[in-house]
A and B are shown apart, each in its own frame.
Chain A
Amino acid sequence: MNLAIRILLRELKSGDVMTLVIALILSVSTVTGIGLFVDRLQSSFELQSSTLLAADRVIRSSQALPDEWRQQAHDFGLATANRASFSSMVFSDDGLQLSQISAVTASYPLRGEYLVEQSLFGEGVPSIAGPKSGEIWVSSRLASLLNVAIGDSVQVGEKALLITAYLVRDPGSSMSAFAVAPRAVMSLSDLAATEIIQPGSRVRYALMMAGESNVLEQMAQWVTPKLADNQEWRTPRSGGQGIGATINRAESFLLLAGTLAVMMSGVAMALASNRYVKRHLTQTAVLKTLGATPNKIGQILFWQLCAVFALGAGIGLVLGWFAQELIALSLDVLLSTTLPPPSLTKVWVGLMTGLVSLVTFCVPLMSRLLTISPLTVLQPISHLSGRSGLLYLIGFAGSFALMVVYTGGVLLPTLMVVSVAVVASLVGSVGFGVFSLGRRLSAGRTSGWQIGLASLRRRLGANLFQLLVFTLIIMLGLILTGMRTSLISDWQGQIPENAPNHYLFNVQKNNVEEVKSQLTDLSLVQSDWYPMILGRVTHINGEEVSELFPPDTNQPEMLERELNLTWAKSLGSDNQVIEGTFSAESEGISIESYVAEEINIRLGDTLTLFVGGEEHTLPITSIRKVDWSSMQPNFYLILPQAVLENFPANYITSVFVPTSKQQDFYRTMSNYPTISLVNVGDLITRIQFIIAQVSQAILLVLVFIVTSGALVLVASVRASLDERLEEGALLRTLGASKQLIQQAMLIEFGFLGTAAGLIAAVAAEVCLFGLQVFVFELAPSFHPLLWILGPVFGFTVVTLIGVFAGRSVIKVPPMRMLRAL
């Protein structure tokens, strides 16, 4: 073992062992980083799921719950609390902001605790008691948006409330980690004074209960028959399914991306091992002539690999820890909660990745040293026997197995392998053409062009592989850049000029005429006003929705939640009937075409809706195509007026407010504190911010992929180093200047990098086109930035790495080289 380690330590200075160690560090740290981060997300979620409901059981409803239910729970011996959640404008002297407010009774929360803080953006300290009457706790984000601090007052509806703490976590509201609206908590006893809650207002009421499980079961039995379709009995488990599934999907996705880094590191390992083996064939044969038995050689290799693994995995784990910390940090502002520290349960994923990579990419190659004949010392063999294809296959099989473990299924890895294979064959054929063309164009010239381009063509296999690796990396980077910088602005660019930029909702019927005339006085263009009534689809053609689309499966969005329903006398210009007919007197439903397709419903089919305690079964009489980019209020379902007009409704409209009139508009609206106002510009800024944050986290994973790609390039240049040294020495002996060889290398790597960048730009443009047209349904646009960034990045990075890895070709005196031949 001593001998093994001693030889290894010496070998560390040679690049091959170093490459092996770095490759291992990269695989382990990538996977560990992702694993630990997702583990933090998951345990944060699990930690919260017990307190997610802030109670043991909750009845949720879109209408106020009868007080006799609370009384009954109390009589059973359960602790109870009430909560009403709604979104409303919060006003300060400096501004106004839509926020998500919970109004709670003093006994809330029954389970879990608040996290509050006395300074902005602090970590938070636990508190069981909530805000007292007359007080409000606001999140740090809301406080900074309104430019207020502890001790200041804010206006919620008609009521002024004093800020006494910054809210870090509200135990019952951790459902959305990426909340768009900032949060606040106030006392339920102040709610009436705000005058926000009017008939038809959007409020989620909750009756919270805690106690012995058999008592809870009693309560469940008592209340379940009384529950209407818009009322729901929730257990901690039923609350969390969605988030759990989302986190699992995120983990699979990130780990799949990470697999790219693992695979490339594996290739770098294989290349380094191959060169190590080549360079050690004779040495091993010498050891054998000195009496080292195959067993002894095996032991030496085993201990060396153990040491490489210990070193690589050790550093990889530490680096992975930092990586997850960075990912968490870059998402910090977005995550509404503080993540718990990483647990060590996910460390095994990183370690296993390192081990599998080493065993599948490295050990098969290394094992050739065991079988090398000692006779090699007398009759050197020029190259190893074939089978290298098979050896790489073992490596890729290992990576595939890892992917299956990461994603817990065969489908995603197979999809990924197939798509990589398709891209590989495309890049391969394009690259082959480009290299051949380069060779033909440079033929007959005696400059570095000829030597450089000939070299690309000669080491075709290796260079096509480089091309693929860098094309993939640059493409991913460009798509991210494109998403970040242009998708949103493309969308904004396609919004018609003077399209509405503010939504007004929660407008009471008796306010509508007044607000209308105020807006007209300000000469603001407003769209039509629509009433909104909440309702849920319960049956399709008489069949229960929960049977057609079980809740665990990918339920269409329209069936997941309560919908905004409306009626209308006529359709806006952004609605186009494509089947059936629409009229104000129609006795059926008009459905938007996309959701109709999603739930697979046709003209004449029936939908049953549960609205305000009544069930209505109606036929589909028209299907509409809606231009959502018009920014006008639009609805999935338009019902007959006769069905809806008796329910309390609140109204929605949209307004275009030019910058010059913004101040007047806000001043006018502050007279209607109960009306909610959304500035689309703010919303877009917020969405842009979220996309920027998320892509920054993905960018971190990309950094690992780029690094492993760079390592592959270094390893592959080193794999051809002996050949390059020989060529360089010969050329220089024949009189070629250092500059010529340098120029040849620059051209070789520069051409490779630029080609990768160009192909990547084409591919990224195609992907963005697909995203724009098919996913976001926007008109396609061209992204000139990508066509500059791609080739420039490719040229710079590949040339730098290539010339660095091959620098000894220029540095080593030709005499030394030729003597060593």
Chain B
Amino acid sequence: MKSPQSIAIKTEQLVHTVSTSAGELTILKGIDIEIKEGESVAIVGASGSGKSTLLGLIAGLDVGTGGESYIYEHALSNLNEEQRATLRGEYIGFIFQSFHLLPSLTALENVMLPAELSGDYQAQEKAMAFLQQVGLQHRLDHYPRQLSGGEQQRVAIARAFASNPKILFADEPTGNLDADTGKIITDLLFELNASQGTTLVMVTHDNKLAQRCQRQLIMAGGCINEPRTRSNESESDEVSEA
């Protein structure tokens, strides 16, 4: 067990450059961040500011072209894709804007998937428990196309928590949902996050949603401009509405 204050994510001068037809394009220009275990952090910024790229790199979906990024003590640039995938399976859960459920699997099977991939024999019990927690115990055998957007995102949340991740990455989790459904989903997300003690890193456009996180990182032009912190007390009044 790590102490509550141990560092879950850390970057050192993280740089990411891609080559385009117009030449080299630097998306991240030397990012330094530290996210403590159990912290909830929102990455906000305009379109094209590099939010999603940063999320992808700190989640180990790819490696930066310069600098270093750590998940706990693991330096990602030293790992190959095989090792990074194993690391993701062990530490990380994901929630996406467009849910990304496997269309050919039922709700239950989608939630079972991470546990099955790691060879967990209790995959089914765990998956059912999480689906119950997100209120979909009556939808176990439905396929994604038979579920509404909100329900699909709840399945995705159940899937994300089903692998007992230490860190949860969410990419615009309410971006494809209407306001009411978005609120329900956000509540659920924060509730489960609190009960599981997960570190939450979220990319969002939605300021109100961002403000429910303990800390916001504002991205502009490939840099983190000004880390803002927010007191926890006012959280309940600033629930996202739009």
B52 at the interface (CB under 8 A from A): yes
Q: Are A292 and B89 in contact (CB under 8 A)?
A: yes
What are the residues of chain A within 8 A of B118 when measuring CB–CB?
A: 291
Would you list which residues of chain A between 294 and 334 have a CB under 8 Å from chain B?
294-296
B147 at the interface (CB under 8 A from A): no
- Which of under 10, 10 to 19, 20 to 34, or 35 or more describes the interface residues of B? 20 to 34
Of A213-221, A280-288, A736-744, A763-771, which stretch is located at the interface?
A280-288
Known: A3-B117, A378-B61. A291 touches B85 (CB 8 A): yes
Q: Are A3 and B116 in contact (CB under 8 A)?
A: yes
Instruction: Closest A residue to B80 by CB, please name it.
Output: A294
A486 at the interface (CB under 8 A from B): no
What are the residues of chain B within 8 A of A291 when measuring CB–CB?
A: 85-86, 88-90, 92, 114, 117-118, 163
CB distance from B119 to the nearest CB of A (A): 10
Would you list which residues of chain B between 84 and 113 have a CB under 8 Å from chain A?
85-86, 88-90, 92, 94, 96, 100, 102-105, 109, 113
What are the residues of chain A within 8 A of B39 when measuring CB–CB?
A: none
Q: Are A11 and B86 in contact (CB under 8 A)?
A: no
A379 at the interface (CB under 8 A from B): yes
Q: Are A294 and B55 in contact (CB under 8 A)?
A: no
What are the residues of chain B within 8 A of A414 when measuring CB–CB?
A: none
Q: Are B89 and A286 in contact (CB under 8 A)?
A: no
Q: Are B89 and A375 in contact (CB under 8 A)?
A: no
In the complex, A10→B144 CA distance in Å?
13
Q: Are A290 and B88 in contact (CB under 8 A)?
A: yes
Q: Are B82 and A294 in contact (CB under 8 A)?
A: yes
Would you list which residues of chain A between 370 and 421 have a CB under 8 Å from chain B?
373-375, 377-379
What are the residues of chain B within 8 A of A3 when measuring CB–CB?
A: 116-117
Q: Are A10 and B89 in contact (CB under 8 A)?
A: no
Interchain CB contact (< 8 A) of A293 among B55, B56, B86, B114: B86
What are the residues of chain B within 8 A of A283 when measuring CB–CB?
A: 100, 102-103
Would you list which residues of chain A between 1 and 25 have a CB under 8 Å from chain B?
3, 6-7, 10-11, 13-14
Q: Are B117 and A296 in contact (CB under 8 A)?
A: yes
Would you list which residues of chain B between 114 and 148 have a CB under 8 Å from chain A?
114, 116-118
Instruction: Closest A residue to B87 by CB, please name it.
Output: A291
Q: Are B117 and A292 in contact (CB under 8 A)?
A: yes
Q: Are A293 and B94 in contact (CB under 8 A)?
A: no
What are the residues of chain B within 8 A of A583 when measuring CB–CB?
A: none
In the complex, A296→B171 CA distance in Å?
25
In the complex, A373→B88 CA distance in Å?
14
Instruction: Closest A residue to B89 by CB, please name it.
Output: A291
Chain A interface residue count, Cβ-Cβ cutoff 8 angstroms: 26
Instruction: Closest B residue to A380 by CB, please name it.
Output: B98
Chain B 3-47 interface mask (CB, 8 Å, partner A; 1/0): 000000000000000000000000000000000000000000000
In the complex, A255→B118 CA distance in Å?
47
Would you list which residues of chain B between 201 and 215 have a CB under 8 Å from chain A?
none
In the complex, A291→B82 CA distance in Å?
9
CB distance from B79 to the nearest CB of A (A): 11
In the complex, A296→B118 CA distance in Å?
10
Interchain CB contact (< 8 A) of A379 among B52, B81, B86, B102: B52
A629 at the interface (CB under 8 A from B): no
Known: A7-B105, A378-B56, A379-B52. A286 touches B100 (CB 8 A): yes
Q: Are A289 and B82 in contact (CB under 8 A)?
A: no
In the complex, A57→B204 CA distance in Å?
94
Q: Are B52 and A378 in contact (CB under 8 A)?
A: yes
In the complex, A378→B105 CA distance in Å?
21
In the complex, A39→B55 CA distance in Å?
63
Interchain CB contact (< 8 A) of B62 among A6, A293, A294, A375: A375
Where chain A touches its partner, the secondary structure class is helix
What are the residues of chain A within 8 A of B92 when measuring CB–CB?
A: 289, 291
In the complex, A583→B92 CA distance in Å?
105
Q: Are B96 and A377 in contact (CB under 8 A)?
A: yes
Instruction: Closest A residue to B86 by CB, please name it.
Output: A293
Q: Are B61 and A377 in contact (CB under 8 A)?
A: yes
Q: Are B104 and A287 in contact (CB under 8 A)?
A: no
CB distance from A285 to the nearest CB of B (A): 8
CB distance from B107 to the nearest CB of A (A): 13
Instruction: Closest A residue to B83 by CB, please name it.
Output: A293
Q: Are B104 and A293 in contact (CB under 8 A)?
A: no
CB distance from A304 to the nearest CB of B (A): 12
Chain B 161-202 interface mask (CB, 8 Å, partner A; 1/0): 001000000010000000000000000000000000000000
Q: Are B61 and A374 in contact (CB under 8 A)?
A: yes
Instruction: Closest A residue to B113 by CB, please name it.
Output: A290
What are the residues of chain B within 8 A of A287 when measuring CB–CB?
A: 102, 113, 117
Q: Are B86 and A290 in contact (CB under 8 A)?
A: no
Instruction: Closest A residue to B85 by CB, please name it.
Output: A293
In the complex, A292→B109 CA distance in Å?
15
CB distance from A808 to the nearest CB of B (A): 13
What are the residues of chain A within 8 A of B81 when measuring CB–CB?
A: 293-294
What are the residues of chain A within 8 A of B163 when measuring CB–CB?
A: 290-291
Interchain CB contact (< 8 A) of B171 among A6, A282, A378: A378
Instruction: Closest B residue to A819 by CB, please name it.
Output: B149
What are the residues of chain B within 8 A of A14 when measuring CB–CB?
A: 104
Q: Are B104 and A7 in contact (CB under 8 A)?
A: yes
What are the residues of chain A within 8 A of B82 when measuring CB–CB?
A: 293-295
Known: A293-B82, A296-B85. A11 touches B117 (CB 8 A): no
Most chain-B Cβ atoms within 10 A of its Cβ — which of A13, A290, A293, A377?
A: A290
In the complex, A553→B132 CA distance in Å?
81
Instruction: Closest B residue to A2 by CB, please name it.
Output: B116
In the complex, A379→B52 CA distance in Å?
8
Q: Are A10 and B105 in contact (CB under 8 A)?
A: yes
In the complex, A289→B113 CA distance in Å?
11
What are the residues of chain A within 8 A of B86 when measuring CB–CB?
A: 291, 293
In the complex, A294→B84 CA distance in Å?
10
CB distance from B51 to the nearest CB of A (A): 9
Q: Are A377 and B94 in contact (CB under 8 A)?
A: yes
Would you list which residues of chain A between 268 and 289 have a CB under 8 Å from chain B?
282-283, 286-289
What are the residues of chain B within 8 A of A373 when measuring CB–CB?
A: 61-62
In the complex, A3→B118 CA distance in Å?
11
What are the residues of chain A within 8 A of B159 when measuring CB–CB?
A: 290
Would you list which residues of chain B between 49 and 69 have a CB under 8 Å from chain A?
52-53, 55-56, 59, 61-62
Known: A296-B85, A374-B61. A290 touches B105 (CB 8 A): no
Q: Are B56 and A375 in contact (CB under 8 A)?
A: yes
Q: Are A10 and B104 in contact (CB under 8 A)?
A: yes
In the complex, A544→B85 CA distance in Å?
79
In the complex, A378→B51 CA distance in Å?
10
In the complex, A375→B76 CA distance in Å?
15
In the complex, A799→B132 CA distance in Å?
50
In the complex, A283→B144 CA distance in Å?
13
CB distance from B200 to the nearest CB of A (A): 16
Q: Are B89 and A290 in contact (CB under 8 A)?
A: yes
What are the residues of chain A within 8 A of B90 when measuring CB–CB?
A: 291
CB distance from A813 to the nearest CB of B (A): 13
Instruction: Closest A residue to B97 by CB, please name it.
Output: A378
What are the residues of chain B within 8 A of A293 when measuring CB–CB?
A: 81-82, 85-86, 89
In the complex, A294→B79 CA distance in Å?
13
Instruction: Closest A residue to B62 by CB, please name it.
Output: A375
In the complex, A289→B90 CA distance in Å?
11
In the complex, A368→B61 CA distance in Å?
17
What are the residues of chain B within 8 A of A10 when measuring CB–CB?
A: 104-105
What are the residues of chain B within 8 A of A292 when measuring CB–CB?
A: 85, 89, 117
What are the residues of chain A within 8 A of B55 when measuring CB–CB?
A: 378
Instruction: Closest B residue to A10 by CB, please name it.
Output: B104
What are the residues of chain A within 8 A of B62 when measuring CB–CB?
A: 373-375
**9 pairs of A and B residues whose beta carbons are closest in the complex:** A291-B89, A10-B104, A293-B85, A374-B61, A290-B114, A375-B61, A286-B100, A375-B62, A378-B52
A291-B90, A379-B53 known; 13 new pairs, CB 8 Å cut-off, are A3-B116, A11-B104, A13-B104, A286-B96, A290-B89, A291-B88, A292-B89, A293-B81, A294-B81, A294-B82, A374-B61, A377-B94, A379-B56
User: Can you identify 15 A-B contacts, CB atoms within 8 angstroms?
Assistant: A3-B116, A3-B117, A282-B100, A287-B117, A289-B61, A290-B114, A293-B82, A294-B81, A295-B82, A373-B61, A374-B61, A378-B61, A378-B171, A379-B52, A379-B56
